[in-house]
Every structure is written in structure tokens, then in C-alpha cells.
């Protein structure tokens, strides 16, 4: 199962991948779904549809791995589209000190279906979902280990500026008895200076929090996010529980906001968690 958020041209894509892993019909539609499949041999197929109703279906194979990628913590698959653009699939499958993940992973997918389209970046979690026959504990679940992949965009001193959100601080808990899932993200950004190059300065970018409703029949969840920003569009999170009795969890988040001075403030990313 996947849970993704993304943006295209600075516009947030609604949370997707919650419950339907099939791609949209060839004629297009309004469900911006994304699915990931693998043959177990380091090959991955990503299918779905952009916000502009353009379908994509791309197969990444071991020969596409960029051994010289600047993204040293990710396995970076690169597939040129023949028009000067590189579609990318970046998989967070490398060991990270102090982090254990058995059932869920992050990935980032960058695609441009047509040369005339803006590129779209998806931040996703995927993995082995918790089975309905192996339900969550009845008591409140609190997660304590987190990973974040994501990006924030705003205007700083008149200049468009992007920040990596990998050091953001997250809390996540679930109460199966009340079907409530609560999270808070304290956004800590490092300015992106180039591909794989980040500033040493940590910038506090604000906080968002929300409570989602747990769908008992599927064990996925989704809800709105609020924070110290002006919400001007999509602002939500949604995801799944993974592994036995929800040992791990993951969700995508997207916030279409602006600062109190009117500057755009867009957050997009994905979180994994373990208890």
C-alpha cells in the first residue's frame, strides 16, 4: 500500500493512494492516484496520474541506478524521458544509524509526463499494511521513532527558497477505541543549495497538527492539518498502519498555505514511524 502527497508547480496534490492501488482509467479522471509495484529484484513500476490528468507508467530497473547520485542516503533511479528531463525514483532503502524499519519505507518520485507539463514531485510511504485479521491494540499507541522526507517552499527576501524537511520533529499516536489518529510536525528546514547540497543552518518553519479518523474497515486514516500559517488550499495528512498490530505507520502530508505577510508557504512530505 502507498500513501503519498505531492506538488506540481507549487500546487499541492491531494493525499492519494489510500485504499486503491490501481491506476486511473486511460481517459483520465479526478482521482490523483499513484501505485507502486515491484518484482522483488530491484525493479519498480510507478503508475498514476498527475494533477493535470496526465497518466504515467514508468518502469525503473537496476540499470537505471545512478551510482554517482548526490542523494547519498537514497537509491536513485534515473530514467530520461527523451526530451531533456530525468524522471526519478528515489528509494529510502539504505540503512540509517539508529533507525529500524521492517514494514514501511519512504520513496520520492519525480515525473513529467509531457514536455509541456510542469514536473510533479511525490513524497510517499509504502509497505506491508496491517491486516484486518491482526488488528491494532485496544489501548492508545504512541510512536517514538520517525523519519521524514519532504520539502518546504516559500519566498525569503524576495527569492524563491526551498528547504529540506528531513530533520523535522514528529509526534504520532492512535487511539483505536475512539478511531482517532493525532500527529504534530515541527518543521525544521535546511535550505537546498543544490542537488543533494544543504545549508548547515537549521530554520524553524512552523508547526502543523491534526487529528484523523481511522477507517476500521481498511485501517487507513486521513484528516486536516492546521498550524501557524494561513491555509489557502489543500492541507491534510493520510496514511496506513504497517506490520503486525500496527508496529509501524506512515503517512503523506501536504499544506497549501501562506505566511501572514502573504508569501506562499508550501509543505510536502512523508513520514514513517515505529513503536
Whether residue 173 contacts residue 140, with contact meaning beta carbons closer than 8 Å, is answered with yes
Whether residue 181 contacts residue 140, with contact meaning beta carbons closer than 8 Å, is answered with no
Instruction: State the pLDDT at residue 190.
Output: 96
The Cα 239–Cα 272 span in angstroms is 10
Distances (CA, A) of 161 to 156, 169, 205, 216, 235: 6, 21, 12, 40, 20
CA 25 to chain centre: 23
The Cα 148–Cα 115 span in angstroms is 30
Which residues does residue 56 pair with via DSSP β-bridges, in sequence order? 48
Nearest-10 Cα torsion for 128, 87, 25, 267: 70
The Cα 46–Cα 90 span in angstroms is 12
Whether residue 33 contacts residue 16, with contact meaning beta carbons closer than 8 Å, is answered with yes
Whether residue 161 contacts residue 142, with contact meaning beta carbons closer than 8 Å, is answered with no
Whether residue 214 contacts residue 254, with contact meaning beta carbons closer than 8 Å, is answered with no
Instruction: State the pLDDT at residue 17.
Output: 58
Residue 153, SS3 per DSSP: strand
Write out the three cell numbers for 145.
Answer: 521513532
Tens digit of pLDDT per residue, the chain (275 long)? 788 888 887 888 777 655 443 444 444 443 446 788 888 778 999 988 877 778 899 999 999 999 999 998 899 999 999 999 999 999 998 877 778 899 999 999 999 988 888 899 999 999 999 998 998 898 999 999 999 999 999 988 888 999 999 999 999 999 989 999 999 999 999 999 988 899 999 999 999 999 999 887 777 899 999 998 888 888 899 999 999 999 999 999 999 988 888 889 999 999 999 99
Predicted TM-score (pTM) of the model is: 0.90
Backbone angles phi, psi at 24, to 5 degrees: -70, 160
Instruction: State the pLDDT at residue 27.
Output: 42
Amino acid at each position: 500500500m502507498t500513501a503519498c502527497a505531492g506538488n506540481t508547480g507549487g500546487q499541492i496534490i491531494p493525499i492519494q493512494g489510500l485504499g486503491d492501488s490501481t491506476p486511473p482509467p486511460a481517459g483520465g479522471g479526478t482521482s490523483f492516484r499513484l501505485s507502486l509495484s515491484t518484482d522483488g529484484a530491484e525493479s519498480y513500476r510507478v503508475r498514476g496520474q498527475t494533477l493535470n490528468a496526465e497518466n504515467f507508467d514508468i518502469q525503473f530497473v537496476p540499470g537505471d541506478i545512478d551510482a554517482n547520485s548526490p542523494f547519498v542516503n537514497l537509491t536513485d533511479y534515473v530514467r530520461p524521458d527523451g526530451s531533456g528531463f530525468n524522471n526519478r525514483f528515489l528509494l529510502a532503502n539504505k540503512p540509517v544509524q539508529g533507525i529500524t524499519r521492517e514494514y514501511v519505507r519512504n520513496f520520492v518520485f519525480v515525473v513529467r509526463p509531457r514536455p509541456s507539463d510542469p514536473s510533479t514531485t511525490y513524497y510517499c510511504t509504502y509497505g506491508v499494511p496491517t491486516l484486518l485479521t491482526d488488528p491494532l491494540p485496544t489501548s492508545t499507541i504512541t510512536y517514538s521513532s520517525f523519519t521524514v522526507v519532504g520539502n518546504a517552499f516559500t519566498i525569503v527576501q524576495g527569492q524563491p527558497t526551498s528547504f529540506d524537511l528531513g530533520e523535522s520533529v514528529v509526534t504520532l499516536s492512535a487511539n483505536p477505541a475512539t478511531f482517532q489518529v493525532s500527529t504534530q510536525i515541527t518543521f525544521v528546514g535546511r535550505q537546498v543549495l543544490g542537488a543533494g547540497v544543504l545549508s548547515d543552518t537549521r530554520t524553524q518553519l512552523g508547526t502543523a497538527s491534526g487529528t484523523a479518523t481511522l477507517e476500521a474497515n481498511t485501517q487507513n486514516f486521513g484528516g486536516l492539518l492546521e498550524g501557524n500559517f494561513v491555509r489557502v488550499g489543500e492541507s491534510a495528512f493520510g496514511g496506513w498502519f504497517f506490520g503486525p498490530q500496527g508496529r509501524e505507520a506512515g503517512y503523506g502530508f501536504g499544506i497549501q498555505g501562506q505566511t501572514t505577510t502573504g508569501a506562499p508557504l508550501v509543505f510536502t512530505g512523508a513520514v514513517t514511524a515505529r513503536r
